[in-house]
Structures are given as C-alpha cells and as structure tokens.
Amino acid sequence: MNDPAEKVLQAKVITVSDGVVAGTRDDASGEALAAKLTDAGWMVAERTQIADGVETVRDALIELADGFIGLIVTTGGTGFGPRDLTPEGTAAALERDAPGLAEAMRTCNPAGLGRLSRAIAGTRGTALILNTPGSTKGSVETLEAVLDVLPHAIDLLAGGRPH
C-alpha cells in the first residue's frame, strides 16, 4: 500500500465450538473464514477458539472489540442445537444492531440451510460483529454475501463520512 490514505482492513475470527476447544474437531470454518478475508485484502489480526455458551461468547466479543477498529466474525453456534447460543451471547455484547447485514447473510442461499440460521450482526464501539454458521461452506457463503459493503461500514464506524 503506497498510498498513506489507504487503510488496512483488520479482522478477528472467533470459532465457537465445544468440539474445537476440546480438540475433537478441526477448526475448518475458522480457517476458511481467515483465508477468505485474507484473499479479500483483510489482515486477520487474531483467531481464537472458545466454548459454546452465552457468557463465553459475550465476554470474548467484549474483550476483542475493546479499542479495535475492524471486523469480528464468529463461526458456529447459530443453529437450533441446545448449545447453539452464539446469537444470545452476541446480543449481550452488541451496542447497536445491524439487521440488514444479518438478513443479507441469511438469504445468500435461499434454497439452503441459511433460513435456519439465527445469526445476528451489529456493532460494539468501532467493531462490526457478524455471526456465521459453523459449516465451512456456510460460513464463507454468508461472509461473501456482505463482504463488499464491510469496508464502508468499518470506515463509518471509525468516523468516516457517508457517501
């Protein structure tokens, strides 16, 4: 980046999975999201894995958003399983909702399982937070559905002016 006006887009990826934390499951969706973001020009500043649960998700999001200007993407815990509590933990951490992003992410594959997603999106401070499903394909598809508008959203959060 030769132009000093160009900003590096930063992202953090959180995998929410009891199995990944326990070491009984690979973090395929976290890896896929990080690869997709990197390919799209984002710098993945951090990747972490946490257990399912309202408090674990809330606390991780609050910590990762503190002083961060960028995107935080979760993968996992957005379905109907008894431990799928990522949306509830995310809601407890959000300061403002971004329902248009969540809707766009859900409808990216109308014939698929996206309609069963309970994922939400919103902001905390200058961080934009998105939930994606735990499947590798689903997480990447839902991110791709909104990837084009995310730089503008981050710019606005950082104090930029609307176009």
Taking only the tens place, the pLDDT of each residue in 5-60 is 457 899 999 999 999 999 999 999 999 999 999 999 999 999 999 999 999 999 99
pLDDT for the residue 8: 86
Mean per-residue pLDDT for 123-152? 96
Amino acid present at 64 = L
Q: Note whether residue 2 is domain-resident.
A: no
pLDDT tens profile 114-130: 677 899 999 999 999 99
Mean pLDDT of 133-158: 96
Q: For residue 86, tell me if it sits in a domain.
A: yes
For residue 118, CA distances in Å to 3, 43, 95, 131 come to 40, 27, 18, 9
Q: Which has the closest alpha carbon to 103: 121, 91, 86, 77? A: 121
Q: Residue 36 maps to which CATH number?
A: 3.40.980.10
Examine residue 29 and state whether it is found in any structural domain, yes or no. Answer: yes
| Residue 1 falls inside a structural domain | no
Domain count, the chain: 1
pLDDT at 3: 42
Question: Would you say residue 117 lies in a domain?
Answer: yes
Mean pLDDT lowest for which of 28-42, 68-82, 96-110?
A: 96-110
Show the domain range for 74: 10-157
Residue 2, pLDDT score = 42
